[in-house]
Amino acid sequence: MGIYIFSVNGDQVRINGLPSNNIQSIAVLKNKIYAGLGEPEKEGFLIAYDLNKNNFELLASSRRIEKISPFDDLSQPVQFQSLTADPGRNQIIFACLSHSHDPVEGLWAIDINNNKMRQLTQFDFPSVWASPINDDTIIFSSSFEIFSYDISKGEADLLNSYASPLAQNKKNFKTSRSCSYRAIAPHILLDGWLWSADYFGRISPDGKSQEVFYFHNGTELFLPREFIQVAEIGNKKYVIAVDQRQIWIFKMDNH
């Protein structure tokens, strides 16, 4: 456990002195490693490690009595999940989860120029997966719900709520589609369609239908839980999907 840095020639360095070696999430931006650390429900830390200076700054700590960040000195530690780099805005976006339903729960951004933090939207959502930023949008997913956040518009959109009623406590969310399909990460949004790895397929923009693509790699159903992404090749868009054995490339007819 911990954070290791590997050079291209095979050398490795372990970052020592961290407040915890239990890593919740990690992102890299402008020669710094940003990481959420700590054992869930027991401790929570947010650090920025400078790769040039080989030291780290403690941005937030559940053990810090002085309230320097919104996450210090809370009744119960929070978890820092799904850290995502936003280089165009010089910020790190992350999801904060509190098991005590503290108002700090939600989506946050850190300005890497001054380490100031601001809450983008509030929710109690255990984010276990986050997509890279694509067209100013991030997709977040838990075991039951999927939502997107448009950074430029500041809008959250509840996309799917599987095996659970559509959440009523997400007051800051719009709901473009009221649907409840099996749809497990990774995900992409393409022309309003929500693609998922399991079942491998896509949900229509209005949420009224789900197309499932049944491919078999011998005896097993193709479930690209390793990777799904949109790629542009010769001004045309393709969906690339990868499992542990195969790579599929799908050309979109309208592209």
Mark residue 245 as left, alpha or beta (left: phi above 0; alpha: psi -120 to 50; beta: remaining).
alpha
Structure confidence at residue 12 (pLDDT): 86
pLDDT at residue 231, rounded to an integer: 85
pLDDT of residue 168: 46
pLDDT of the residue at 26: 95
Residue 219: predicted pLDDT: 66
What spatial distance separates the first Cα and last Cα of the chain, rounded to whole Å? 44
What's the pLDDT at 135? 87
pLDDT tens across the length of the chain (255 residues):
789 888 888 888 888 999 999 999 999 999 999 999 999 889 999 999 999 998 999 999 999 999 999 999 888 888 999 999 999 999 999 999 887 777 888 899 999 999 999 999 887 766 678 888 888 999 988 777 888 899 999 988 888 876 554 444 555 666 666 677 888 889 988 888 899 988 888 988 888 888 888 776 566 778 888 888 888 888 888 889 888 888 888 887 664
Give the fold, CATH level 3, of 4-183: Methylamine Dehydrogenase; Chain H (2.130.10)
Query: Domain map of the chain by residue range?
Result: 4-183
pLDDT given at position 225: 85
Tokens (6 digits) for 232: 């542009």
